[in-house]
Structure 1
Amino acid sequence: MDMFTAVERVVSEAERQLDAGAWEPAARDLALVRQTAAALDLAVGPANVQEALPRIDRLAGLREALAAIALTVARTHGRLAWFLAQCSSELAPVLHWRALPAPDGHAFGAVLPDLGQLADAERAVRFLAAMLVRTGNRPGTQH
C-alpha cells in the first residue's frame, strides 16, 4: 500500500469518529491540531513547488513534517496522539530514505526514493494537513 492510501485510511477513520461524536477534541488539542497543520503546510508545499525542488530539499521537508507530527504526539494524549502516531507510522519509510549517493554501499539501509515515492509521501502530508485544518475549523470549535 502506498503512503497516501495508508494515510487516507487513517484520516477516514478519524473523520468517522469525529462525525459520530466519538472523538471530540478538547480546546488544547484543537490548538495543537491547527499548529500541526500549519507546520505540515510549511514543510511540504504545493506539488508544483515541491516537484521543482532538488531531491534533498524534498526529503528534508518530509522529515520536517514527521518531526512536526512527533512533537504534537509528545504534547498530547488520547485519540489525537493515537491518530497522529498512526499517521507517523504510515509515513515512517521516509526516515529510511536518502538523497545522497552512497558510493561505498554503506548507507545504513537507507535507500534512494524515486520521484513517485517522494510525490506520494508529499501528497499524504498535504492530505493530512488538510484534514487537520478541517478539524481545527469544525463548527462549534473555538479559535
Structure 2
Amino acid sequence: MTDLSARRAHPVAGLAAFLVVVAAVAVVGSLSAVSAASDYAALRQPSWAPPSWLFGPVWTVLYVMIAFSGWLAWRAGSRRGLVLFGAQLVLNAAWTPLFFAAGEFGLALVDIVLLLVCIVAVIVVFARRSRVAAGLLVPYLLWVGFATALNASIWTAN
C-alpha cells in the first residue's frame, strides 16, 4: 500500500497515532513536573505570570490541536512539515524536564526559543499543504511566545 493510499484507507488510525505521539510528549512533561505547581509558586515571577492551575487546561487543548494539525498535514502529504513537526515535539518534550526537573532556566530558555522558531517553520510549511493544519498551530505559537517571555523573566529574576 502506498503512503497516499494508507492516508486514505486508515485516516482514523493515523489520527490515533498522532494523538498517541502527542500524548507521549505530554506525559514526558507531566512526569518531570510532578511538583511543578509548588516549584512554580516558589519562583520570583512577573506580575503578569498566570496561576499554575491554568497550564494544565491550556496545554490539554493545545496538545489536541497539535495532534490534529499533524494528522491533517500527514493526510495532505507534507513530509518536510512532518519532520519539522517531529522536531518541535522533541523540543516541546525537553522544556519541562529542563525547566522544572533540572532547574536549568537558561537552557530551558534556549530550548523554548528553538521551539518557537520550529513552530513558525512548521506553520509555514504546513500552510503550503493545509491552511487548517497551519492555523491549528497558531494558538500554540502564541502560547509558546508568551511562555518564552515568562521563561526569560523567571530566568533573570531567579
Task: Provide TM-score, normalisation by structure 2.
Answer: 0.47
Matched, 1:68 2:68: no
Once superposed, what is the RMSD of the aligned Cα atoms?
Answer: 3.5
Q: Give the match for residue 119 of structure 1.
A: none
Q: Give the match for residue 59 of structure 1.
A: 109
Q: Give the match for residue 39 of structure 2.
A: none
Which has the larger displacement, 74-83 or 40-49?
A: 40-49
| Structure 1 residue 70: Cα displacement | 0.7
Q: Which has the higher contact order (CA 8 A, sep 6+)?
A: 1
Q: Give the match for residue 92 of structure 1.
A: 145
Matched, 1:25 2:75: yes
Report if aligned partners of 1:70, 1:88 keep a CA contact under 8 Å in 2: yes
What do the CA deviations read for 1:98-139 (whole angstroms, capped 9, x no partner)? Answer: 54xxxxxxxxxxx326xxxxxxxxxxxxxxxxxxxxxxxxxx
Q: Give the match for residue 154 of structure 2.
A: 112
Matched, 1:10 2:62: yes
The 1:15–1:75 alpha-carbon spacing in structure 2 relative to 1, beyond 3 Å, is closer
Mark the runs of 5 or more structure 2 residues left unpaired by the alignment.
1-52
Q: Across the two proteins, how many residue pairs are aligned to each other? A: 99
What do the CA deviations read for 1:69-123 (whole angstroms, capped 9, x no partner)? Answer: 0111122321111011121112221232354xxxxxxxxxxx326xxxxxxxxxx
What do the CA deviations read for 1:36-78 (whole angstroms, capped 9, x no partner)? Answer: 2224314652855653252111111111111100111122321
| Structure 1 residue 10: Cα displacement | 3.3
Q: Distance in 2 between matches of 1:42 and 1:10?
A: 15
Aligned residue type for 1:75: V
Q: Distance in 1 between matches of 2:151 and 2:102?
A: 18
Counting helix residues as a fraction of each chain, which structure ranks higher? 2
Q: Give the match for residue 16 of structure 2.
A: none
Mark the runs of 5 or more structure 1 residues left unpaired by the alignment.
100-110, 114-143
Matched, 1:45 2:94: yes
Aligned residue type for 2:119: I
Report if aligned partners of 1:25, 1:80 keep a CA contact under 8 Å in 2: no
Report if aligned partners of 1:43, 1:64 keep a CA contact under 8 Å in 2: no
